[in-house]
A and B are shown apart, each in its own frame.
Chain A
């Protein structure tokens, strides 16, 4: 396995890496829980100040990939292999103590459901000052002042009073802002966001996304955003990586991936968005089938059983990632056909059907 080689080669070689290296540099990341390989060879590279969105459906391994950047798993129950360099540190090489110092200071995280991510019996302000006091030698008063400034920064109204609120006394949007304030408390370089808008109302979602975008620009933050919402990804991210069954199947700039998708799964995601399909009488397109069982992974491309372009080779051989344009990589044997199929027209899937093995109309188009 190349993972061990990758670890070995990065030991002491790159000493001045902290300054020049990318903020996130992950190579051949593999995460397994017991016998289940949840993340299966992921490569990620992200420059400082950039935002990357990891998108995919539930169980695609995107949240696990995100947590691997902090090694945020129960000890002994997971196996993480591969190279993980974040904010200039080799995360795999950190001791327990170093890891605790690293978390929240260099890299911090915001969560899907802020009501559950705050301890219910402490005030929000106290939980922010706790993080500051954990990482820095400052007085309680200074920590409190910092927390207040953070609340102002994320635009929480009447911040002084809100610091003394308990999590359940805030609205969902305000809680997520408070969560962001907490994450920024120790001025981290990298912010990891695990579906930060999924639990929020649609009107609040956009506010939180805009706030993230603004903070990224103002503070030079590097953001890794996990989401299943393409709209959210486009709003915040410079780059998008599409994950399926623990692998990245397509990655590129946000424009490349959304406007010029080359992987049938990306195309499926784009087509299954409600926005494009809500003309009266139109059917919402879906991707047929469901993701594979990761414990019994078939050989070949994991998407092949659901793909409208799949043929014999797809079922037997995993396609390697191929660069089709600068920075745009796709892992598909039929990337060009898929791209053509997407561009042809409103129902390009039909036009592409001669290439697909299934009977006409069945494999890719299914009413809800």
Chain B
């Protein structure tokens, strides 16, 4: 395990070398928050709540989404680059599990963005924006657990799309489409509360719900008892299903590589 952890640590350390990058990263995250906050402030126009959702719930939900997208930062061209350069086969000589190594490297990168982009933004935002405190220590803990599960769900979706590099010339387009779908359907931009019922019902059957919105709901204490268990179970189901699909694509890609040459 320490071997995989060192992939994360070293990625984190190498990211720290780009100082200008993290200054801009803070500005970027802060700007996104201010724009969103201003729009919703104007939309609420002093109204206490809309459809039972208060302004502070919306800003808090967006801030959490920003934190999550910071954590979800990763190099999505990784697999394609390795395949295009033909170094993928050589990678397999390294005595580590390729997928795990990739996951840990991405986690190192995510951790960097959380610490250096999101946390400063969250601190600054807490001075001027109306944020809601978590509804309890247990909720924070549950939220963290679901963040980890949501992270794995999103990572697996990304891996599936990336594994198309074995057959496609470039997966950049697919990745862009995937990111737009995730950001909209997972409720990163528009909270799920404001979506029409029919759309929410559709999303409920996709893995996207498990990525952003479940952690937000847990933080705000919107879920209770059996509902929490149901949400976790759903996240775990998606991890198993998407993991199996990803593994299938990965194996068939490798098979192509060892038979046809890379």
Partners in one complex: no
Please give the residue numbers on chain A whose beta carbons come within 8 Å of chain B beta carbons, in ascending order: none
